[in-house]
Amino acid sequence: MIISTVGSHSALQILYGAKKESFSTKVYCLKGNEKLYRRYPVADQIVTVDSYIDLLDIKYENEEIFVPHGSIISTLEKRALDIPIPMIGNREGMYWEMVREKNLELLKKANIRTPYTYKPEEIDKLCIVKFPGAKGGDGYFLCSSYQEFEEKIGELIKEKKVSEEEASNAQIQEYIVGVTMYPHYFYSPIYDRVELLGIDRRYETNVDALGRLSQSHSKISPTYTVVGNQPLIARESFLHKLLDYGDLLREVSVDSFHPGLIGPYCIEMALTDKEIVAFEFTSRIVAGTSLYISGSLYSKILFDEEMSMGRRIAREIKLAKEQNRLDDIIS
């Protein structure tokens, strides 16, 4: 069997994990990006494509399973659902992830506190304005009034940084002042359990650099472009809540898009001194899992071996294949 993915985001880790579980591996790369996968020996086959659109009518192998990640969601958007290769996970979940209203709807159904959302005219406190798709925080801005919103969005449209359509689909959320935390979950149909395998926090420029400036420079507007990830261990007393959130989201996803979240997913949250607020979920592997290529505290205790998220995916595929249950984990 072959495990394949697209050459970016968390591909090194996905393919390395697949190799650890003795799968053949394949990476689909945009021309020029294949150099990386020649330098690191993780891909048995490298297929170059001119554009990710080519994936929509790609010829694939008989026993190939594709691992989706954030790059295909941000570039192909809804067309990502039409990639013909069987995928690990429930592709319907990617749709719920992409459409911001659906994303928040699922979190709310799970009784997880989410930021309040506003219409432009309603803005009366610090808000963050977000655009559709997993673009790593690109273009997000803060504002505290309708007038400020209009000015800033107008500028972005003028500079062609966002389209009129993206602007009209922008989501305006209450800004949560808290420490961000991204727990990595895995729902295993084989073991019928949700596993918490690691936690990271994203490192975003320039917002994570502003603390290095004195208050006198505080007029610089924060931006939220992800540049990397840092490992994080939660206080043990928070783990109960993090595990509950993972279970609850999985439970409500079954009704919303049967058979629900399968394989890797994540809840993006911020912890204030009073509460945990989740602003998004992802229905697939997040890039921060690559920190734990040799496993994390949590995955080490669960498996007592070097269990990365990439390897966990491959392990589930292997077990499903052995038990003739591949249909339970792919879509």
CB of 208 to ligand AMP, least distance (A): 8
Helices and strands, number each (H, E), in the chain: 10, 13
Task: Tell me the closest approach of the beta carbon of residue 180 to ligand AMP, in angstroms.
Answer: 5
Of 204, 264, 287, 309, the one binding ligand AMP by CB under 6 A:
204
Q: DSSP string covering 151-206, please?
A: HHHHHHHHTTSS-HHHHHT-EEEEPP-SEEEEEEEEEETTTTEEEEEEEEEEEEEE
Cα–Cα distance measured from residue 208 to residue 225, given in angstroms and rounded to the nearest whole number:
10
Q: Which of residues 4-43 bind ligand AMP (CB under 6 A)?
A: none
* Residue 121 burial class via C-beta count within 10 angstroms: exposed 0-12, middle 13-18, buried 19 and up: exposed
Contact segment (CB under 6 A) with ligand AMP among 174-182, 187-195, 239-247, 316-324 equals 174-182
Site string for ligand AMP, 256-285 (x = CB under 6 A): ------------x-x--------xx-----
Taking contact as CB under 6 A, which single stretch among the options 24-32, 47-55, 117-125, 173-181 is the one that binds ligand AMP?
A: 173-181
Size of the site for ligand AMP (CB under 6 A): 16
Give the single-character DSSP code of 305: S
CA distance 246 to 256: 15
Of 204 and 316, CB closest to ligand AMP: 204
Tokens of 5: 């993915």
Among the residue ranges 23-31, 37-45, 51-59, 175-183, the one whose residues contact ligand AMP (CB under 6 A): 175-183
Give CA–CA dist 280/283, Å, rounded: 10
* Of 328, 298, 253, 282, residue with least CA distance to 136: 282
Which lies closer to ligand AMP via its Cβ, residue 262 or residue 271? 271
Nearer to ligand AMP, 58 or 167 (CB): 167
**Which of 140, 257 has the CB closer to ligand AMP?**
140
What are the C-alpha distances in Å from 170 to residues 3, 102, 127, 218, 255?
Answer: 35, 14, 12, 25, 27
**Shortest spacing between CB 48 and ligand AMP, in angstroms:** 29
The footprint of ligand AMP on residues 93-152 (CB under 6 A) is 115, 128, 130, 137, 140
Tokens representing 76 are 């192909």
Of the candidates 224, 281, 292, 298, which one interacts with ligand AMP according to CB under 6 A? 224
Question: What span, in angstroms and rounded, lies between the C-alpha atoms of 2 and 253?
Answer: 28
Chain positions contacting ligand AMP, by CB under 6 A: 115, 128, 130, 137, 140, 173, 175-176, 180, 202, 204, 224, 268, 270, 279-280
